[in-house]
Amino acid sequence: MQKAHTVTSGQHIEISAPLISLARQRAGRGLIIAATLGLAVIILVQSLYAAGTITTGFANWRPVLYAYVLWAVALGAGQVMVRGEAGHRALFLLPALLFTIVMVIFPTFFGIYIAFTDWNLSAFDPPKLNGLDNLRTLVNDAYFWNALLNMVYYILGVLVQYTVAFGLALLLNADIRARKFFRVAFLLPFMLSPVAVSWMIGKSLMEFRFGPIATLMRHIGWESPAFFTTPWIARLSIIALDAWVWIPFIMILLLAGLQALPREVQEAAKVDGATPWQSFWQITFPLMLPVSVTAIILRIIFQLKLADIVINTTSGGPGGATDTVSSFVYREYRERSNVGYGTMIAEVYLILIIIFISLLLRFVSRWMQRENNT
Amino acid sequence: MKLELYNRMAMNRRTWLKGTAAVSVAGVAGSLGAMTTTANAQDNLRAQILQIPGVGKGSPTDADWQKVGEMCLAATKTNVKEGEFKGVELTFMGLNNQNLHNLLFRGFLKPWETYTGAKINWIDLAQADYNARLQQSIATGTVDFDIIEMGAPFEGDVCGKGLASEMPDWVKTQIEMDDYVGYLKAPVGTWGGKTYRISIDGDCHTFNYRTDYFADADLAAAWKAEGHEGDFAVPKTWQKVQEVTKFLKGKKVGGQDAYGYLDPIKGWGGFGFYFLGSRATAYAKHPDDKAWLFDVDTMKPRVNNPAWVRAIQDVIDALPSEPADQLNADPGTTGFQQFLAGTGSMLSWWGDIGSNAKTSDSSVVGDVTGFSILPGSDDVYNAGTGAWDKLASGPNYAPNMAYIGWGVYVMARVDADPVKQKAAWSAAAHLGGKDLSLWCSAYPSGFQPYRQSHFDIKEWVTAGYDEAFITSYLNSEADSYNHPNAAIEPRIPGIFQYYSAAEDELSKIWAGGSTAQEGADKIAAAWEKITDGIGRDKQVELYKASIG
Amino acid sequence: MTQPSDGSQQFKYVGSRVLIYGALLLWAFVCLFPIYWTISTSFKTAVNVTQGDIIPWVGRFQPDWKGWRSLGLSPDTIGQISTVRDEFLLRFRNSVLVSVGAALLAVIIGSLAAYGLSRFQYRFGPWRNKDISFFFLSQLILPPVVLAMPFLVLYKELALLDSIIGLILIYTLTVLPIVIWIMRDQFDTIPNELEQAALVDGCTVWGAFFRIILPIALPGMVAAFILAVVLCWNEYFFAALLTSTNAKTLPVMVASQTGSQGISWWSMAALSTAAVMPLVLIGIFLERFIVKGLTAGAVK
């Protein structure tokens, strides 16, 4: 029986590589060095041209991009020539790696630079470095800490979403009629764009005066169903809206996991006379842990970026109760053109997230290993 | 910012038939390009374009926009030869809010393109992205447009930085700039004595109220019974607005809960601040002082002075008497989902509310809405002396010229090429033409009247409007535009940064997180920081330049 | 003795069925009603919106083509020339190109990387597989707004502003992590004895991948592809920032329906409906591929 959705380690193939001729190795190294030199020269020329030191160069940096692509091809070919089998293996990873690096290397460094400047788009003077000022402002910024606290609530909301999604996945996995219909229906909310969701649902369906949900609530007995005016109700409403969009995503992952479960195990449990409740907790749930962890972690990462719905539906109000870090950054960055400070918030947030996610992954993997051992 | 003034207007069949006849004549005349410019022909033209597609005949379509553009081409033809701009390509950046703005411009400019031979590429933006997109383009040197539709508040960012092209004199003549209403004339649209802006819109907040409330005998009796001073009447001052709002709490009108003034509490990307401004100008804008938001010499914010704090406190005091969902109501909600749908009795807004009141399907207040300029105040704060003055002339009025309307600007990057420069200005002038703008102010376009010639009530009545209604509506606008103590928005760079920062703090105040004074002090502190970030000396200089 | 037991069994069975179908129907309603609301709103006039009318042809709510007319997509305008419809179609075409292009690119390079990470031990300096995986994942974490300025500058220098290629590249970057994550799970569940055998038979690593693994993992790739298309299709932020006239996409047009005059509910609903239709069709016709695809890796 295969039980292998492990998060941190896969199965690894080890085979011995055949010997590679020295000449081929030398040619391969030569190719890589030549390509690297070529790329370096082009970058250098273009930099000098851009800096105004020399007068010949390209109109823009596009040719450098082409040079990078050529270099990447040469690097790949060189790898194969030098390292043979190992080079072939590296070729699997290289395209994605080189692509990601070239896309993010400039934005990352430029972003870090921006984070330490006083850049305001409306300012007359060019941006200048201002040391740790942005960081100091951040530490004293009540809006940031408030938003960060809200993120904790939103993350807890993910667990609720997970519970509901698990329930739905179990229902869909049960022996039911019209399964196809229900599956499609349950999937659809995921397809709507956040802009449309926040307007058509947040501002229309949940509208205080004419929204059907508000009307329904009035019938149930909530006298003034204002979904976005008191802090906790507003927060819960946002979580509900967000859940509506994202539950299908978790549900699909879980459903796929459920369908991959070997039937025999559950059959066996039934024969043993376990109640459905017992068989769920003792068999299904533990078996589903790896998938669950994947789903929850992906979901948490998306949740940490929650912004669109909040911006459109509440603008972070009332009094900051629904503000997220991202929506705060949006305001700082887009409405106030405060690029330097906005970027600093985001960089700090990024670091916090990376720490949080790595801890989470470590915690989860340890925990999963223990599960595996039992 | 005007919408569907014309829709569903009562119009008898005979006028309509006359209208269609006129259109077919006009179509022929227009396509021949043989329009004379005698006074009579001009009047005819204006009457004719007002019949496209005809008031009450459904929304104008692309074909209608093109027809209007074609008929208003005479002014262009006097300055530009046919095919003169062959091979010129221009890029136009503007909004496409609710499928208006840019979509109309496309139709209007299509005949212009055909005649001049130029081609226009379009960048459409959502309003929410507009500021960010513009600022980023400027800051990173990616200005990729030749003509831009822009609100006056952004002039500081664009004209103040020398990115706009100065208006040639022939354009000034072609668009008849003398016709602008008072407040749109210089210094608005100019920087350092140079003119940059072709106005295509006028903006100000006016006061909208429910006439049925103030004619209600039961309410009047209750008002007397509770011992209020004077008769129960439309408030002329904010003091009265407050009193009436609190009085109405718990009362019923026509079987429904009665509410007074409606404050938009939720932020609106900076635009929400205009509504606090409308409450504050009567307190803060002294007739002897042009400034009301910042001190002119130092850019010291006045937002935490007693006048503004009083306005903020007014909102806090009024909130318990307003509807239950007010905390999440942005200006769109107060205007379109509350006031027009029959909730609340007093509201400050741009002209849209007035035009929609009568014409929108969702409006239930068409026959019971009245208009006036914004309420005044019994006393006004004098920032110079720190005292509250009572004016000899009575209450102080200071209509809030919020946003100052849209304009069309040409970017400096066309100046290098004289043909392109002329083409860009010719296209812009076509959109800002006197006759074309009449059509825009009468039909859904996103724009309001902004020329003296737009306030000829006869023209509107001939076109099919109800006289009493249009008179009341146009007067409230004209009186605001031409008011000697109008509070005109500072056209300094980054003005929306100030508004956005203020909205954040205000949101806390409304939710009970801080008192009016504390919150206002925080806003002032944030504003000082923004001023320093942008550059204080330069801001002071530009502020002075913009005030004139 | 059997009689009562059967009865209660029967009762229990019926009860659980009722419960199951009740829950299913309830949730289906929760999912479908907002979508129904959106579609029906596209046929409303202002009064139906503010009165919250729900069912067409009952009372006030007489369906009207107003929203669709504003797009030039109603029966009476479909034959006419309409600049709005041209705009919509251009953006629609761009949205298709961009999301399919980006999803394809991401699935290709993402699957390769995922396979590599699943099967081989890499070492780049101090980096091992785990670190490389995390590096990819971390690309998912950054709030896009931070990348706005840097990407604007970068794209300006690379002359990629307002180009479909530029948009495809950045969307690929944003969906790549999730594709890698999903595909690595897929490959992890395919037993490696399969390739071992092929390798023993003299296949190269790539030969084994293409001939043995790819066919098995294909459904998983389809699922990852669909998820990527959905995520790209609705992306708004970079589309608004990096495009102007040539490469503009649909979500920006949806957002444009709001503004200073409140909101044209009917136009927004019509646009949302039209914009989401391709995805709904994907949902209806390709749904089984999504779940099957994500499951497929677990074959024994």
Q: What is the ipTM of this complex?
A: 0.88
Query: Which residues in chain B touch residue A320, judged by CB atoms under 8 angstroms apart?
Result: 504, 507-508, 511, 513
Beta-carbon count within 10 A of A371 CB = 12
The shortest CB-CB distance from A346 to any of C143, C169, C181 is to: C143
| Helix/strand/coil for C124 | strand
C-beta contacts of B433-436 below 8 A and 24+ residues apart? B433/B72, B433/B75, B433/B174, B433/B175, B434/B75, B434/B175, B434/B176, B434/B179, B435/B42, B435/B45, B435/B46, B435/B49, B435/B71, B435/B72, B436/B49, B436/B68, B436/B69, B436/B72, B436/B108
CB contact under 8 A, A60 and C158: yes
Q: In angstroms, rounded to a whole number, what is the distance separating the alpha carbons of residues C51 and B547?
A: 46
Q: In angstroms, rounded to a whole number, what is the distance separating the alpha carbons of residues A139 and A338?
A: 17
The Cα of B531 is separated from the nearest Cα of chain C by a number of Å equal to: 22
Q: Is residue B26's pLDDT more than 50?
A: no
Query: Which residues in chain B touch residue C161, judged by CB atoms under 8 angstroms apart?
Result: 142, 144
pLDDT at C297: 46
Q: Where are the alpha helices (DSSP H) in chain C?
A: 2-41, 46-50, 66-69, 83-119, 129-138, 148-157, 164-188, 193-200, 205-208, 214-233, 237-242, 250-255, 265-296
pLDDT at C1: 43
**Quick one: average pLDDT of B69-98?**
91
Kind and range of the H or E run holding A355: helix A339-373
Nearest chain C residue to A291 by CA distance is: C185
**Quick one: average pLDDT of A219-240?**
90
Tell which B residues from 457 to 516 touch A, by Cβ distance under 8 Å: 493-494, 496-497, 500-501, 503-504, 507-508, 510-513
Neighbours of chain C (3+ CB pairs under 8 A): A, B
Using alpha carbons, select from A106, A312, A124 the residue that is nearest to residue A206.
A312
Using alpha carbons, select from A256, A260, A259, A254 the residue that is nearest to residue A2.
A260
**Quick one: average pLDDT of B259-273?**
91
Q: Which residue has the higher pLDDT, B126 or B184?
A: B184
CB contact under 8 A, B136 and A121: yes
The shortest CB-CB distance from A350 to any of C142, C157, C199 is to: C142
Nearest chain B residue to A204 by CA distance is: B337
CB contact under 8 A, C162 and B3: no
The shortest CB-CB distance from A319 to any of B139, B513, B535 is to: B513
Question: Are A284 and A277 in contact, with CB atoms under 8 Å apart?
Answer: no
Tell me what percent of chain A is helix, strand and coil, each rounded to the nearest 5: 75, 0, 25
Q: Does C291 touch chain A (CB under 8 A)?
A: yes
Number of CB pairs, chain A paired with chain C, less than 8 A apart:
301
pLDDT at A370: 41
Question: Are A142 and A319 in contact, with CB atoms under 8 Å apart?
Answer: no
The Cα of C31 is separated from the nearest Cα of chain B by a number of Å equal to: 25
**Quick one: average pLDDT of B141-150?**
90
Neighbours of chain B (3+ CB pairs under 8 A): A, C
Parallel/antiparallel/unpaired status of strands B198-199 and B206-210: unpaired
The Cα of B502 is separated from the nearest Cα of chain A by a number of Å equal to: 11
CB crowding A270-286: b at 16 or more within 10 Å, else e:
eeeebeeeebbeebbeb
CB contact under 8 A, C52 and A199: no
Q: In angstroms, rounded to a whole number, what is the distance separating the alpha carbons of residues B349 and C54?
A: 30
The shortest CB-CB distance from B126 to any of C87, C255, C267 is to: C255
CB contact under 8 A, C50 and A209: yes
CB contact under 8 A, B124 and C256: yes
CB contact under 8 A, C112 and A180: no
**Quick one: average pLDDT of B113-120?**
94
The Cα of A152 is separated from the nearest Cα of chain C by a number of Å equal to: 16
The shortest CB-CB distance from A329 to any of C33, C145, C291 is to: C145
Q: Which residue numbers of C have CB closer than 8 Å to B's CBs?
A: 45-47, 49-50, 69-70, 72, 77, 80-84, 87, 148-149, 152-153, 156, 161-162, 240-241, 244-245, 248, 252-253, 255-264, 267
Query: Which of the four pLDDT bands, split at 50, 70 and 90, describes residue B398?
Result: very high
Query: Which residues in chain B touch residue C81, judged by CB atoms under 8 angstroms apart?
Result: 62-63
Within 8 A by CB and 6+ apart from A66, the residues are none
The Cα of A27 is separated from the nearest Cα of chain C by a number of Å equal to: 22
Taking chain C, what is the end-to-end CA distance rounded to the nearest angstrom? 44
CA distances from C186 to A5, A163, A291, C211 (A): 8, 24, 11, 16
- Across chain B, mean pLDDT equals 87
Q: Which tokens in the block code for residue B354?
A: 């007035």
Range with the poorest average pLDDT among A176-190, A254-268, B136-150:
A254-268
Burial of B454 (0-12, 13-18, 19+ CB in 10 A): buried
Mind giving me the DSSP string for B364-411? S-GGGEEEESPPBBSSEEETTTTEEE--TTSSB---EE-S--EEEEEB
CB contact under 8 A, B91 and C245: yes
The Cα of C287 is separated from the nearest Cα of chain B by a number of Å equal to: 33
Q: In angstroms, rounded to a whole number, what is the distance separating the alpha carbons of residues C180 and A97?
A: 11
pLDDT at C300: 29
The number of CA neighbours under 13 Å toward the Cβ of B377 is: 26
**Quick one: average pLDDT of B10-31?**
40
pLDDT at C197: 85
CA distances from B206 to B336, B405, C263 (A): 15, 14, 21
Query: Which of the four pLDDT bands, split at 50, 70 and 90, describes residue A2?
Result: very low
pLDDT at B58: 67
Q: Out of A79-93, A155-169, A328-342, give the one with best mean pLDDT.
A: A155-169
Query: Which of the four pLDDT bands, split at 50, 70 and 90, describes residue B359?
Result: low
pLDDT at A233: 93
Query: Which residues in chain A touch residue C148, judged by CB atoms under 8 angstroms apart?
Result: 333
Within 8 A by CB and 6+ apart from A39, the residues are A67, A68, A70, A71
pLDDT at B149: 94
Query: Which residues in chain B touch residue A230, judged by CB atoms under 8 angstroms apart?
Result: 327
- Identify any residues that bridge with B372 across adjacent strands, giving them in sequence order: B207
**Quick one: average pLDDT of B536-543?**
90
Nearest chain B residue to A339 by CA distance is: B136
Query: Which of the four pLDDT bands, split at 50, 70 and 90, describes residue B362?
Result: low
Query: Which residues in chain C touch residue A308, judged by CB atoms under 8 angstroms apart?
Result: 236
Distance of CA C263 to the CA centre of its chain: 26
Q: Does C19 touch chain A (CB under 8 A)?
A: no
- Identify any residues that bridge with B349 across adjacent strands, giving them in sequence order: B206
| Helix/strand/coil for B256 | strand
Q: Does C242 touch chain A (CB under 8 A)?
A: no
Question: Are C182 and C117 in contact, with CB atoms under 8 Å apart?
Answer: no
Sign of the torsion angle spanned by Cα atoms A277, A280, A285, A286: positive
pLDDT at A1: 34
The shortest CB-CB distance from B128 to any of C45, C46, C255 is to: C255
Query: Which residues in chain C touch residue B93, judged by CB atoms under 8 angstroms apart?
Result: 244
Query: Which residues in chain C touch residue A11, judged by CB atoms under 8 angstroms apart?
Result: 118-119, 188, 191-192
CB contact under 8 A, A189 and C153: no
Q: In angstroms, rounded to a whole number, what is the distance separating the alpha carbons of residues B543 and B302?
A: 14
| Helix/strand/coil for B206 | strand
Q: pLDDT tens per residue, chain C (300 residues)?
A: 445 556 677 888 888 889 999 999 999 999 999 999 999 999 988 778 777 788 888 877 888 888 888 788 888 777 777 777 888 899 999 999 999 999 999 999 999 999 999 888 888 878 888 889 888 888 887 777 778 888 888 998 898 988 999 999 999 999 999 899 888 888 887 888 888 888 888 888 888 899 888 888 888 899 899 999 999 998 888 888 888 888 888 888 887 777 666 677 888 889 889 888 888 888 888 888 888 777 754 432
pLDDT at A40: 93
Q: Which residue has the higher pLDDT, C96 or A18?
A: C96
Q: In angstroms, rounded to a whole number, what is the distance separating the alpha carbons of residues A304 and C143?
A: 8
The shortest CB-CB distance from C259 to any of B62, B98, B361 is to: B98
The Cα of B389 is separated from the nearest Cα of chain C by a number of Å equal to: 36
Q: In angstroms, rounded to a whole number, what is the distance separating the alpha carbons of residues B356 and B473?
A: 11
pLDDT digits (tens, 9 = 90+) for A130-163: 889 999 999 999 999 999 999 999 999 999 999 9
pLDDT at C105: 97
| Helix/strand/coil for A124 | coil
pLDDT digits (tens, 9 = 90+) for A84-141: 888 888 999 999 999 999 998 899 899 999 999 998 888 888 888 988 999 999 999 9
**Quick one: average pLDDT of A217-246?**
91
Query: Does C251 sit behind a cis peptide bond, omega within 30 degrees of 0 on the bond before it?
Result: no
Using alpha carbons, select from B445, B492, B486 the residue that is nearest to residue B152.
B492
Query: Which residues in chain A touch residue C132, judged by CB atoms under 8 angstroms apart?
Result: 93, 97
Within 8 A by CB and 6+ apart from B18, the residues are none
Neighbours of chain A (3+ CB pairs under 8 A): B, C
Q: In angstroms, rounded to a whole number, what is the distance separating the alpha carbons of residues B314 and B280?
A: 10
Q: Of all residues in chain B, what percent carry a pLDDT higher than 70?
A: 91
Q: In angstroms, rounded to a whole number, what is the distance separating the alpha carbons of residues B118 and B136?
A: 28
Q: In angstroms, rounded to a whole number, what is the distance separating the alpha carbons of residues A179 and B197?
A: 62
Q: Does B530 touch chain A (CB under 8 A)?
A: yes
Tell which A residues from 264 to 323 touch B, by Cβ distance under 8 Å: 314-321
CB contact under 8 A, B99 and C248: no
The amino acid at residue A223 is E
Radius of gyration of chain B (CA): 24
Nearest chain C residue to B445 by CA distance is: C261
Query: Which residues in chain B touch residue A333, judged by CB atoms under 8 angstroms apart?
Result: 132
